[in-house]
């Protein structure tokens, strides 16, 4: 499977847009340190991790460690959040189609749409495309299923001001263990106009972002 998905503009992606998109951002000198402890989501009981965020105005430094991931595969990682409610990590009760998995669209009820993408290069936006699902620009787990990520980039002030209301979610689970994301198509495929394997988007670890001061 191509790790970089076809980048196709779709009006339907607006529902996944970031908080405050289209609103003028003002300069900010706010500083804060945050931490998120990442616990397993239903479909991958072994995935755990830890994330530290340092916010300086509109600059965000993200440092993420995660283990128990599918080895040698990219893992999309995002800040998710709702505009009018505190996000939560989804439980198995969100498995509405009773397949034993909680996919992105099932879990979004709890953790909300993407606000920031922890890509390794290029944009870090909240839309599914071009940033949220471009697997070629997300970190790849090593042969032991471990990821270390670090990057500093700018984010909208409206998002930076509400980091404590949001969650970090790590995606990607090679269910059949064949070393690639394949098999059943995700329900996201219709939204982006490109093939998205379910394995590539499954949320596997999630944790609330808490302020450390």
Report the alpha-carbon distance of residue 212 to residue 175 in Å, rounded.
36
160-169 pLDDT, tens digit per residue, is: 999 999 999 9
Where do the domains of the chain lie?
11-20+28-174
Cβ 53 vs Cβ 163: under 8 Å:
yes
pLDDT digits (tens, 9 = 90+) for 123-175: 999 998 899 999 999 999 999 999 999 999 999 999 999 999 999 999 999 99
161 CB burial (10 A radius; 0-12, 13-18, 19+): middle
Confidence of residue 102 (pLDDT cuts 50, 70, 90): confident
For the entire predicted model, the pTM comes to 0.83
Q: Give the percent of the chain with pLDDT over 90.
A: 58
- 100 band by pLDDT with thresholds 50, 70 and 90: confident
Q: Quick one: pLDDT at residue 109?
A: 79
The predicted model gives 88-106 an average pLDDT of 79
Q: What CATH code is assigned to 11-20+28-174?
A: 2.60.40
């Amino acid at each position: 499977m191509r790790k970089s998905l076809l980048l196709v503009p779709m009006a339907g992606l607006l529902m996944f847009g970031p908080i405050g998109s289209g609103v003028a951002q003002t300069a900010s000198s706010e500083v804060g340190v945050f931490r998120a402890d990442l616990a397993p989501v239903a479909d991958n009981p072994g995935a755990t991790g830890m994330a530290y965020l340092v916010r300086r105005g509109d600059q965000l430094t993200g440092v993420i460690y995660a283990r128990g991931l599918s080895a040698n595969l990219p893992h999309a990682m995002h800040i998710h959040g709702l505009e009018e409610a505190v996000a939560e990590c989804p439980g198995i009760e969100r498995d509405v189609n009773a397949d034993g998995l909680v996919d992105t669209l099932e879990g979004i009820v709890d953790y909300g749409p993407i606000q920031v993408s922890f890509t390794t290069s290029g944009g870090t936006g909240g839309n599914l495309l071009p940033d949220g699902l471009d697997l070629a620009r997300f970190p790849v787990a090593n042969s032991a299923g471990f990821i270390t990520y670090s990057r500093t980039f700018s984010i909208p002030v409206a998002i930076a001001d509400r980091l404590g209301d949001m969650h970090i979610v790590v995606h990607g689970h090679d269910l059949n263990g064949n070393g690639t994301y394949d098999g059943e198509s995700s329900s996201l495929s219709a939204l982006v106009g490109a093939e998205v394997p379910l394995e590539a988007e499954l949320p596997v670890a999630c944790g609330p972002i808490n302020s450390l001061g």
